């Protein structure tokens, strides 16, 4: 379950947060497959609550009403079509599975749900699953509010309600069966695996039971006996009662230290310096390489939810962001995930964004807008599409080209300039300090002229960016200024001209 089942030597997942299924299908065909993306993490596809106060927040999708497949992203038909079209071009689909809970306890009663199913939060009645009051862990929770009040108490964290969300009792065979039935339906349709939401709030033993019920992947697109890829959301920045180590035997786990630390390094906070990343990975007390899913930011911490705090770098700091994502994609550690966001109207009052709830670009009736693509390949209508930024797309390709190669030829200036290679397949040089670099380094690559894939790219036999001349003994001269659009350079075997 640790294997993402990437096809054709691909390596990277993109989270198309809040995208419609029809847009994802088109994106697989027109962009993700040709650029070598391995898979897409999609927003939860199941039926969710629909809220007016605030108006259609993005987080309504983390409040399930049933496991029917109609959501803000589209209908079941559109969902099926997306899976087929993405699989047909070798791009995997990973579902965000919300299985710890249903909607909030204050969710009311009625048909305000994405497929129109009736439910009652107060009676804990969800007939479209069906779940009834017996299926929730109310009697196990010992706090007076019924909510998690103290993250130091592992029983509360697992058995009480996360921000009032009605907590499912996954110890029950019936609940385990319903959750597994939902996930198996998705496997049948052709998904490659799951991002499992809120795993810290579920007992590892319960998860083990649910995962044990899952079928192998659909053999129309995957080899026989392939188990679904599982990556579990557990926020562990160290020093908490619940540790990621309780989950790594079940599947991969999100490494939240990665983005928090990388943010500090590139922002130069806490006296961090880029050259300290010589031991990046396990050397920074991250989980072992084979267990980690890594990312610079996610849909929570890019807007102050979840964990990581203010050091997290997002598209709002675009220059820094490209460097951080570029570094991540060049470095061998972990399975990499790239964020693709929408923009919203941020409004900070006393350091808190009043609009952190705002949903995706929408029409007046609340339906999500389609993603439009501009002639220069960037997106419009409020969709940011970081994955289409040249520097990021080209580093996704870089990661595929160097896949399997060790980190080699490390160089640093004892401060904020570093460079390293990936065998003889690729080399990156980057700095995070206002300065100019003028240095000759051993790239480990074969002699020739390479096109820098950050300032441009190879197009036919031409290079639209800087050219890097590698001598026959592998050395190359790098001259970069902080005034350049991006203070980093990357070359790889397929950018040779």
The contact set with ligand QV4 (CB under 6 A) reads 59-60, 62-63, 98, 104, 106, 147, 162-165, 197-198, 200, 233, 235, 300, 305-307
Q: What is the DSSP track for 184-252?
A: HHHHHHT--EEEETTGGGS-HHHHHHHHHTPPPPPTTTS-TTPPPEEEE-----SSSSS-GGGTTTTSE
Q: Please, which contacts does 280-285 make with residues 24 or more away whose CB atoms are closer than 8 Å? A: 280/331, 280/333, 281/331, 281/332, 281/333, 281/334, 282/333, 284/257, 285/238, 285/257
Residue whose Cβ sits closest to Ca ion: 201
179 binds, among ligand QV4, Ca ion, none (CB under 5 to 8 A by kind): none
Of 94-102, 171-179, 350-358, 448-456, which part binds Ca ion (CB under 5 A)?
94-102
CB nearer ligand QV4, residue 138 or residue 307: 307
Shortest distance, CB of residue 234 to Ca ion, whole angstroms?
13
- Please state, in angstroms and rounded to a whole number, the distance separating the CA atoms of residues 495 and 478: 16
CA-based nearest residue to 24, from 10, 7, 41: 41
3-class DSSP state of 440: strand
CB nearer ligand QV4, residue 200 or residue 390: 200
Q: If binding is defined by CB under 5 A, does position 197 make contact with Ca ion?
A: no
Structure tokens at 273: 């310096």
How open is the CA angle 300-17-77, to the nearest 5 degrees? 140
CB nearer Ca ion, residue 176 or residue 201: 201
Shortest distance, CB of residue 230 to ligand QV4, whole angstroms?
15
- Please state, in angstroms and rounded to a whole number, the distance separating the CA atoms of residues 296 and 326: 10
167 binds, among ligand QV4, Ca ion, none (CB under 5 to 8 A by kind): Ca ion
CB nearer ligand QV4, residue 146 or residue 456: 146
Residue whose Cβ sits closest to ligand QV4: 104
What is the CB-side half-sphere exposure of residue 297 using CA atoms within 13 A?
29
Q: If binding is defined by CB under 5 A, does position 176 make contact with Ca ion?
A: no
Shortest distance, CB of residue 56 to ligand QV4, whole angstroms?
12
Q: If binding is defined by CB under 5 A, does position 169 make contact with Ca ion?
A: no
CA-based nearest residue to 15, from 307, 249, 360: 360
CB nearer ligand QV4, residue 44 or residue 228: 44
3-class DSSP state of 120: strand
Contact (CB, 8 A) for 69 and 76: yes
Kindly state the number of chain residues that form the binding site for Ca ion, as judged by CB under 5 A.
3
Shortest distance, CB of residue 82 to ligand QV4, whole angstroms?
22
Of 80-88, 99-107, 140-148, 209-217, which part binds Ca ion (CB under 5 A)?
99-107
Structure tokens at 458: 């190879």
- Please state, in angstroms and rounded to a whole number, the distance separating the CA atoms of residues 212 and 191: 17
Confirm whether 171 is a catalytic residue.
no
- Please state, in angstroms and rounded to a whole number, the distance separating the CA atoms of residues 120 and 106: 10
Pairing mode, strands 426-431 and 462-463: unpaired
428 binds, among Ca ion, ligand QV4, none (CB under 5 to 8 A by kind): none
Catalytic pick among 68, 169, 233, 356: 233
Please enumerate in sequence order all residues whose Cβ is within 8 A of that of 241, keeping only pairs 6 or more positions apart, or say none. Answer: 151, 152, 153, 154, 157
13 binds, among ligand QV4, Ca ion, none (CB under 5 to 8 A by kind): none
Confirm whether 181 is a catalytic residue.
no
Catalytic pick among 27, 68, 169, 197: 197
Shortest distance, CB of residue 202 to Ca ion, whole angstroms?
5
Shortest distance, CB of residue 48 to ligand QV4, whole angstroms?
9
Q: Contact positions toward Ca ion, by CB under 5 A?
A: 100, 167, 201
The residues carrying an active-site annotation are 197, 233
């Amino acid at each position: 379950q640790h294997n993402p089942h990437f096809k054709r030597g691909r390596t990277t997942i993109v989270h198309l947060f809040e995208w419609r299924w029809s847009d994802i299908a088109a994106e697989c065909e027109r962009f993700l497959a040709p650029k070598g993306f391995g898979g897409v993490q999609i927003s939860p596809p199941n039926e969710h609550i629909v809220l007016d106060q605030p108006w259609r927040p993005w987080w309504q999708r983390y409040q399930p009403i049933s496991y029917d497949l109609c959501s803000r992203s589209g209908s079941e038909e559109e969902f099926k079509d997306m899976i087929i079209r993405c699989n047909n071009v070798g791009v995997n689909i990973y579902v965000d599975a919300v299985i710890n809970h249903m909607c909030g306890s204050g969710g009311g009663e009625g048909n305000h749900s994405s497929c129109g199913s009736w439910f009652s939060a107060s009676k804990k009645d969800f007939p479209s699953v069906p779940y009834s009051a017996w299926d929730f862990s109310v009697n196990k929770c010992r706090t007076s509010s019924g909510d998690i009040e103290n993250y130091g108490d592992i029983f509360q964290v697992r058995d009480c309600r996360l921000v009032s969300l009605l907590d499912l009792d996954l110890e029950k065979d019936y609940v385990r069966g319903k959750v597994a039935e939902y996930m198996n339906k998705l496997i049948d349709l052709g998904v490659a695996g799951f991002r499992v939401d809120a795993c810290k709030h579920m007992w590892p033993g319960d998860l083990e039971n649910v995962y044990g019920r899952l079928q192998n992947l659909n053999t129309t697109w995957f080899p026989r006996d392939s188990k679904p890829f599982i990556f579990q959301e557990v926020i562990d920045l160290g020093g908490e009662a619940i540790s990621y180590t309780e989950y790594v035997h079940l599947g991969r786990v999100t490494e939240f230290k990665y983005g928090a630390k990388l943010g500090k390094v590139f922002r130069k906070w806490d006296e961090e310096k880029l050259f300290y990343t010589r031991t990046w990975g396990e050397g920074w007390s991250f989980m072992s390489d084979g267990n980690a899913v890594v990312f610079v930011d996610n849909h929570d911490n890019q807007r102050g939810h979840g964990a990581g705090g203010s050091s997290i770098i997002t598209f709002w700091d675009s220059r820094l962001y490209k460097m951080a994502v570029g570094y991540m994609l060049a470095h061998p550690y972990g399975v990499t995930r790239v964020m693709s966001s929408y923009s919203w109207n941020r409004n900070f009052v006393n350091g808190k964004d009043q609009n952190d709830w705002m949903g995706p670009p929408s029409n007046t009736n609340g339906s999500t807008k389609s993603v439009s693509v501009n002639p220069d390949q960037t997106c419009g209508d409020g969709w940011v599409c970081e994955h289409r930024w040249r520097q990021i797309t080209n580093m996704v390709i870089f990661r595929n080209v160097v896949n399997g190669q060790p980190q080699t030829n490390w160089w640093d200036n004892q401060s904020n300039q570093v460079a390293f290679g990936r065998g003889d397949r690729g080399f990156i040089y980057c700095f995070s300090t206002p300065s100019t670099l003028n240095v000759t380094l051993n790239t480990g690559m074969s002699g020739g002229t390479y096109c820098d894939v950050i300032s441009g790219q190879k197009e036919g036999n031409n290079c639209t960016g800087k050219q890097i001349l590698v001598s026959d003994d592998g050395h190359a001269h790098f001259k970069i200024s902080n005034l350049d659009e991006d203070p980093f350079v990357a070359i790889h075997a397929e950018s040779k001209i």
